[in-house]
Structure formats: structure tokens, C-alpha cells
């Protein structure tokens, strides 16, 4: 959703609550063209973590390998003793 800075200012609590409740970013547009985004700190941290993972080649390789073994059903089976250890 996009709102003007005047709409945002006039209904600050409503828009902040909506961003927190829906977990959808709110884009606030300004006349000078410098828009900004409102989102919860939880969503912000999640986005940072996602960007970190996507930018880390080693992690992405591990994810791809894990997905391949899952699809092939060739992954390692963990015993209950290993899970409880």
C-alpha cells in the first residue's frame, strides 16, 4: 500500500498498526520523490536475515544441496537417540 506523507501524518497510529498487524510494508510517498517504508522491527529483522542468506554463497549452496537430497529422498535419517542427545 502507498499513502502520501500527509495521509500518513494525519493517520499515523492507524497506518503503523496496520503495518504491524498485516506484516505488509507501507510505502509513504513525499512530494520531493524520496519515499520511505514503514514496517515492523520483526519484519525488518526478517528481511535483513533473508538478504544475508541470499547473499551468502555457502549458505545458498547448502540449501540447494539439502533440497536436492530431500527431493531424492537420499538424505540422512536421524534416530530418536540423536535427536534427544
What CATH number should be reported for the domain holding residue 34?
Answer: 3.40.1620.10
Q: Is residue 85 part of a domain?
A: no
Looking at residue 23, what is its pLDDT?
95
31 shares its domain with 1: yes
Q: What domain range is 61 assigned to?
A: 40-75
pLDDT digits (tens, 9 = 90+) for 5-51: 999 999 999 999 999 999 999 999 999 889 999 999 999 999 999 99
How many whole angstroms from its chain centre is CA 78? 30
Same domain, 45 and 34: no
Count of other CB atoms within 10 angstroms of residue 33? 6
Amino acid at each position: 500500500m502507498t499513502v502520501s506523507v500527509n495521509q500518513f501524518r494525519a493517520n499515523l497510529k492507524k497506518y503503523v498498526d496496520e503495518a504491524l498487524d498485516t506484516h505488509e510494508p507501507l510505502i509513504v510517498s513525499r512530494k520531493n520523490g524520496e519515499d520511505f517504508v514503514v514496517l515492523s522491527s520483526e519484519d525488518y529483522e526478517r528481511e535483513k536475515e533473508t538478504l544475508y542468506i541470499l547473499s551468502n554463497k555457502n549458505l545458498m549452496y547448502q540449501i540447494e544441496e539439502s533440497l536436492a537430497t530431500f527431493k531424492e529422498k537420499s538424505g540422512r535419517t536421524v534416530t530418536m537417540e540423536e535427536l534427544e542427545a
